Amino acid sequence: MKRTTLTASALILAAVPAFAATKGEVLTTYADIAHAGYEDSLTTAQTLNEAVDALIANPSEETLAAAREAWVAAREPYQQTEVYRFGNAIVDDWEGKVNAWPLDEGLIDYTENQEPTDENPFATLNVIANPNPTVGGIEIDASTIDASLIGEEINEIDGIESNVARGYHAVEFLLWGQDLNGTEAGAGERPYTDFVEGEDCTGGNCDRRVDYLEAAMDLLIADLEEMVGYWAEGGEAREAVMEDEDAGITAILTGMGSLSYGEQAGERMRLGLLLNDPEEEHDCFSDNTHRSHYNDGLGVQNVYLGSYTRVDGSTVEGPSLSDLVAESNADLDAEMKSKLDTTMGAMTALSDAAEGGMAVDQMLAPGNEEGEKLMMDAINGLVDQTATIERIVADLGLSAIDFEGSDSLDNPDAVFQ
Amino acid sequence: MRYALVLALVASPALAGPQEAIENHILPNLTAFTEAAGALDDVAQANCEADALKGPYNAAFDAWMRIADIRLGPSEQGVLTISFWPDTKGHTQRTLKRLIEAEDPVVENQKDFAEISVAARGFFALERMLYDEDYSDYGEASYACALTRAMTHDLAQQAAALENAWREDFVPVILNPGVEGNTTYLDETEVVRAIYTQVMSSLEVTADTRLGRPLGEPTRPRPSRAEAWRSERSLANTMIVTQSAYDLAVELADWELPETAAAMEQVHAAAEKIEDPGFQNIDDLSSRFDLEILQQAIDGVENALEAELGVRLGIQPGFNSTDGD
């Protein structure tokens, strides 16, 4: 045995990566990427707001197209931040205001083929057309549409989550309208005249629609400002992550795994495929779902590798979870990197196909085998990478993936009450 | 020979739990479901009317609930196509309406029918056809009759395919962790954790979703969000799936689980107090209270199992499919 000792030590030394990352440094990188991501989300939302103002001041094909383009650009950085959601209670509590989905858009404006359901009697309330809607026997004063009405009173009205009145998808619906093309080509086709006040108004109540869009944008920007602050130096979310290093590392892995598996592979992609329902795509009005999926996947990879490319092309990077795993188990780190690459390869193929003319809603069409394969490859990649995330949790000796807490561990006496 | 024997002795105690869980629980329950779904389809092909189907429908649903929360291997997708719930956006009513209004000929070809939206397949679509008065009053020669037959036949085929996929493809993977080429399960601990995750997430889903969704907020109960309330199966589903999670845990454990068994007795005691099997009376405060007690009793089983099984095995549940929203 003694003879091999030197060789063995040399091997171990060789395996130690250049970065000997501490948990604290890894968490700092994680928080820095969050801050940069939300900051990019805010600046692109401000650009969107300017485009929306231009649309309202002078509704035309061009100003509507510019606003839509700005919305798509604003989604790029935001979707990369979704990986922060499930591991950080502050983000998860806030997220519903900004990115709630799916929504019963008939709550907001005119729709076709919608009706109230078991779940939601208000699925066709249409606040824009209805200044005095009645909910649960109580009449609501919706005569003035402003941030307080849609943010406080209408959003999640009657406690129903699909009553989404604010956030990116509400704005998306106002800019595009319902996508009535089913699983055929084409996104929502709302005419710019829906924003023309006076005689040429289409869709009715253009003045109220304009008020709605302005209020929804005000809320979105205020919400993003709030989240940028939470991740700044001394901000609540940053402090929460740094407070207990093991819990912070667990938060990173929880966010990666929950987004990959339950949320993205399951709720958003597999279920959409199985429902064959064109509305079961994350950005269903704009047909921008492929970018949503791609950027969600990229966000997971970003936090693992500790590197984020900002909208201006600069990079935020530092000691990473990958460095930490590599120190403990180099093979496991290689496995994680390889699986993230596989997923991103599948996401790139899916995104390219969509940009090339096969939107995600078309991929969901029954019998579209090529589309189904593109979706399934991405789903399988996500499921597969989740298994490796679980291995990392075990390898690092971390406990409790469930960030809501575990009764028996938090409070052993509670178990046998 | 002696060497092989030593290896076998070392390997088998570690694998006893997963092997028993699969061979004594999952596989026999898959077989029972295949048989019950086949029996439902046999009746439907002879007489498609709602009243004739309710008995075998409930028998098949009972059998399904024994394995409804296992989301491993082929069940990951199979669960969704057999029991699509919760349906938060009303997909089932919308899809059925569209099929019926158009008299969509997809019902004439089972292969095509297997490609349609899951919202029109499986137990919850069938429940609408059999129990929702907007649909259930159909006769032999109607489109709805043909649709119902397509659903039962599809369900029987899905059941057989699911069982087959487990036996032929997945059991060799899950019961041979760490062998060359098995990248799904690298060692026995991963298998134990995977099965343990099914048990724990089933209990969590039952308490939080099957009961939590209809309970809503104290001032705002949501009876129409109860699982299978139209067929008044909400309580039955809750009890079968909870019992099955417990039975699976018993197979997985190589030791007694006395606290968990005691917690299960609390579940049964709480269930006896429930008067409406479809949970439609929870507007009434005392009925709501009874359902909350049942919910807490199921939480109690989860907590007891965590201590008696998870802590002792030194494992935590992995990610589950409900980790998202």
Which residue of chain A is at minimal alpha-carbon distance from B325?
A263
Q: Is the pLDDT of residue A399 over 70?
A: no
Query: Tokens in use for B187?
Result: 């060692």
Nearest to B316 among A119, A123, A399 (CB): A399
Which residues of chain A does B72 touch, with a Cβ-Cβ cutoff of 8 Å? none
Question: What's the mean per-residue pLDDT of chain B?
Answer: 92
B93, B217, B322: residue with CB nearest A117: B93
Task: For residue B145, name the pLDDT band (cuts at 50, 70, 90).
Answer: very high
Q: What are the residue boundaries of the structural domains of chain B, listed by start?
A: 14-174, 188-313
Residues of chain A positioned with their CB less than 8 A from the CB of B112: 366
The architecture that CATH gives domain B188-313 is: Up-down Bundle (1.20)
Residue of A nearest to B116 (CA): A366
Residue A279 confidence (pLDDT): 65
User: Percentage of residues in chain A with pLDDT exceeding 90?
Assistant: 72
What local confidence, expressed as pLDDT, does residue A278 receive?
Answer: 66
- d(CA A196, CA A242) in angstroms, rounded, equals 50
Give Cα B83 distance to the centre of its chain. 8
DSSP 8-state secondary structure symbol assigned to residue B140: T
CA distance A147 to A129: 17
Q: Å from A156 to nearest chain B CA?
A: 13
CB B234 within 8 A of CB B228: yes
Q: What is the pLDDT of residues A104-131, one digit of tens each?
A: 999 999 999 888 877 888 889 999 999 9
CA distance A129 to A208: 8
Percent of chain B, pLDDT > 90? 86
Minimal CA separation from A168 to chain B, in Å: 17
Q: Which of B250, B240, B225, B207 is nearest to B36 (CA)?
A: B240
Q: Do B320 and A262 touch (CB under 8 A)?
A: yes
pLDDT digits (tens, 9 = 90+) for B171-188: 999 999 999 999 999 999
**Prediction pTM value:** 0.87
Fold of A21-100+166-395: A middle domain of Talin 1 (1.20.1420)
**Contact assignment for B80 to A271 by CB distance below 8 Å:** yes
Which residues lie below 8 Å from residue A8, measured CB to CB, with a gap of 6+? Answer: none
**Can you tell me the distance from the alpha carbon of A71 to that of A217, in angstroms, rounded to the nearest whole number?**
11
pLDDT at residue number A137? 76
B14-174: CATH, from 1.10.1370.40, 1.20.1420.20, 3.40.630.10, 1.10.1740.10: 1.20.1420.20
The total of other beta-carbon atoms located within 10 Å of residue B181's CB is: 7
pLDDT bracket for residue A155 (50, 70, 90): very high
Q: Give the mean model confidence (pLDDT) for residues A376-398.
A: 93
Distance in Å, alpha carbon of B88 to nearest chain A alpha carbon: 6
Three-class DSSP category at A366 = coil
User: Cα–Cα distance between A272 and A361 in angstroms, integer?
Assistant: 9
What pLDDT is recorded for position A401?
A: 53
The answer to whether B117 contacts A262, with C-beta atoms less than 8 Å apart, is: no
Q: Maximum Cα–Cα distance for chain A, whole Å? A: 93
What six digits make up the tokens of A369?
């085998």
Closest CA to B128 of B164, B100, B163, B165: B100
Whether residues B322 and A262 touch (CB distance < 8 A) is answered with yes
> How close does chain B come to A373, measured CA to CA in Å?
14
* CB-closest option in B95, B318, B321 to A401: B318
Judged against a pLDDT cut of 60, whether residue B189 lies above it is answered with yes
Q: Best interface-test mutation with B: which of A82, A95, A118, A391 has the largest number of B CBs within 10 A?
A: A118
A263 to chain B nearest CA, in Å?
4
What whole-number distance in Å separates Cα of residue A266 and Cα of residue A271? 6
Q: Cβ–Cβ of B186/A267 closer than 8 Å?
A: no
Contact list in B for residue A274 (CB cut-off 8 A) is 77, 80-81, 84, 117-118
Average pLDDT over residues B142-169: 98
Count helices and strands (H / E) in chain A: 16, 4
* Interval B76-98 mean pLDDT: 91
Read off φ and ψ for residue B168, nearest 5 degrees.
-80, -40
Is B116 within 8 Å of A366 when comparing Cβ atoms?
Answer: yes
List chain A residues with CB under 8 Å of B213: none
Suggest the residue from A83, A91, A98, A119 to mutate for an interface test with chain B (most B CBs closer than 10 A).
A119
- Count of A-B CB contacts under 8 Å: 133
Could you give the angle at the alpha carbon of B87 between the alpha carbons of B83 and B90, nearest 5°? 130
Cβ-based neighbour number of residue A413 at 10 Å:
8
Nearest to B70 by CA among B174, B180, B179, B222: B174
**How close does chain B come to A102, measured CA to CA in Å?**
8
Tell me the sheet residues that pair with A307. Answer: A317
Sign of the four-CA dihedral B251, B254, B256, B261: negative
| Residues of chain B positioned with their CB less than 8 A from the CB of A161 | 88, 325
Mean pLDDT score across all residues of chain A: 89
Residue A48 contacts residue A73 (beta carbons within 8 Å):
yes
Is A390–B321 a contact, with Cβ atoms under 8 angstroms apart? Answer: no
Judged against a pLDDT cut of 90, whether residue A184 lies above it is answered with no
pLDDT at residue number B20: 96
Tokens describing residue A256: 């990666």
Q: At a CB cut-off of 8 Å and minimum separation 6, what does A25 contact?
A: A318, A319
The secondary structure of A268-333 as a DSSP string is: IIIHHHHHT-TT-STTTTTT-HHHHHHHHHHHHHHHHHTEEE-TTS-EEE-S-HHHHHHHH-HHHH
Nearest chain B CA: its distance from A324 CA (Å): 21
Contacts of B220 in chain A (CB under 8 A): 158-159
Amino acid at the residue A17: P
Question: Could you say which DSSP state residue A199 is in?
Answer: T
In terms of CA atoms, which chain A residue is nearest residue B261?
A416
**Contact between chains at A408 and B118 (C-beta distance less than 8 A):** no
In this prediction, residue B15 has a pLDDT band, given cuts at 50, 70 and 90, of low
The pLDDT score that the predictor gives to residue A135 is 76
